Amino acid sequence: MAAAEIKVGQVDDVQELHRTGLTTVPDRYIRDGDDRPDGDSVFALAHIPVIDVGELPRGDELDKLRLACEEWGFFQVVNHGIAHELLDEMEKLAREFFMLPLGEKEKYPMAPGGIQGYGHAFVFSEDQKLDWCNMLALGVEPASIRQPKLWPTSPAGFRETLEAYSAEVRTLCGTLLAHIAETLGLAPATFGDMFGEAVQAVRMNFYPPCPRPELVMGLSAHSDGSAVTVLQQDMSCAGLQVRSKAGAWVPVHPVPHALVVNLGDTLEVLTNGRYKSVEHRAVVNGEQDRLSVVTFYAPAYDVELGPLPEFVTDETPCRYRRFNHGEYSRHYVTSRLEGKKTLEFAKINPPAGEHNGTVPEQTST
Ligand code: OGA
Ligand code: NI
């Protein structure tokens, strides 16, 4: 889609809105009733599993990881090997970037319909509701997807720290994918071998406080178009929510220096739906801002994907077609964030009731 064809209308910068001390929220942020944070039940007492990476692939921990993948598609990892100082430094610099004056941040503009730079991704029309969030998104690996002009030169050290951080997270993604393969009875190198020179991108999300948090969404519900995603969130407050199998939204409570990991669409396709990419969203807060640094790790664009033969049986017939991952990626970034809708691109005859990933027996409360 050429940027010139896209009309997105007035898109305010939510930090600037917040700075004006507003007490009401512009219409474009106000969600329809069933799309509000309390539109579905929120189950605040549930917790996603916490996995000790240092214990993997020992039996008990591997079983725990398998269960986390099957039941949640989401887990937190501790003992992940990344220095806490580096996590702290990345968080500090990301926060400093968002605190810069708007004019400074706009030196790295995201084009309408674009996916890299500072601005609003996934906005494609003038009547689309907007998320209460500012974003800085950057391609990291391979070098061919980098747009160095969009890498902030301020605050000092941002680029170097992002580089060091991304190298560490890349290693962790490889390790996690090896263990995830083991939980499926596959050779540890299965995904690594298949993915080629994996694509890695980072998105930093900043959610300022909102005077009417119950009416807006920080980030619309979606599944990630990656194989795995690694999310670092600050300790200020919970905001990320995961759709449980029963249909309720479960908040991901921050654990100090843990990283949140989720399975993306690629793994759902490769496992023929044995593991699912799970819907998630971010809600915002009336008093506190919130920051997340999110790494998406996916196959190289030229990789062909489809269910692995191990997962296609008489009982579990093939549910996804074969496709080129680059094509899927393009489809993903040119579509609105809307539950699991983007994965329909790959689905063969979605069974009745599975449209948009909603659970058939679930009712809104
Ligand atoms: C994402 C995402 C959630 C958050 O960026 O894909 O799901 O808490 N972010 O920022
Ligand atoms: Ni996400």
Predicted confidence at residue 4, as pLDDT, reads 52
Cα of 281 from ligand 1 centre, angstroms: 7
Q: What is the DSSP string of 177-193?
A: HHHHHHHTT--TTHHHH
Residue nearest to atom 1 of ligand 1 (CA): 294
CB 292 within 8 A of CB 224: no
Predicted confidence at residue 113, as pLDDT, reads 75
Arithmetic mean of pLDDT, 265-290: 97
Predicted confidence at residue 7, as pLDDT, reads 78
Terminal CA-CA length for the chain: 38
CB 190 within 8 A of CB 181: yes
Residue that is written with structure tokens 């790959």 in the block: 346
Residue 145 resides in a domain = yes
Pocket test of ligand 1: the residue of 240, 250, 253, 284 to mutate, having most ligand atoms within 8 Å of its CB, is 240
220 closest CA partner among 355, 357, 356, 338:
338
Residue 33 resides in a domain = yes
pLDDT digits (tens, 9 = 90+) for 267-278: 999 999 999 999
Residue 244 resides in a domain = yes
pLDDT digits (tens, 9 = 90+) for 48-99: 999 999 999 998 999 999 999 999 999 999 999 999 999 999 999 999 999 9
Q: How far is residue 30's CA from residue 352's CA, in Å, rounded to a whole number? A: 31
Look up the CATH number of the domain holding residue 255: 2.60.120.330
Residue 18 resides in a domain = no
State which residues form the domain around 264: 27-345
Ligand 1 atom with minimal separation from the 239 CA? 8
Arithmetic mean of pLDDT, 164-169: 98
Residue 356 resides in a domain = no
Residue 359 resides in a domain = no
Could you give the percent of the chain with pLDDT greater than 90?
79
Question: How many structural domains does the chain have?
Answer: 1
User: Does residue 150 have a pLDDT over 90?
Assistant: yes
- Give bridge partners of residue 49 from the DSSP assignment: none
User: Does residue 116 have a pLDDT over 70?
Assistant: yes
- Structure tokens, 341: 């809708």
Predicted confidence at residue 353, as pLDDT, reads 53
Q: pTM higher than 0.85, yes or no?
A: yes
Residue 109 resides in a domain = yes
User: Does residue 361 have a pLDDT over 80?
Assistant: no
Residue 110 resides in a domain = yes
Predicted confidence at residue 351, as pLDDT, reads 57
CA 60 to the chain's CA centroid? 28
Cα of 133 from ligand 2 centre, angstroms: 13
Pocket test of ligand 1: the residue of 292, 295, 297 to mutate, having most ligand atoms within 8 Å of its CB, is 292
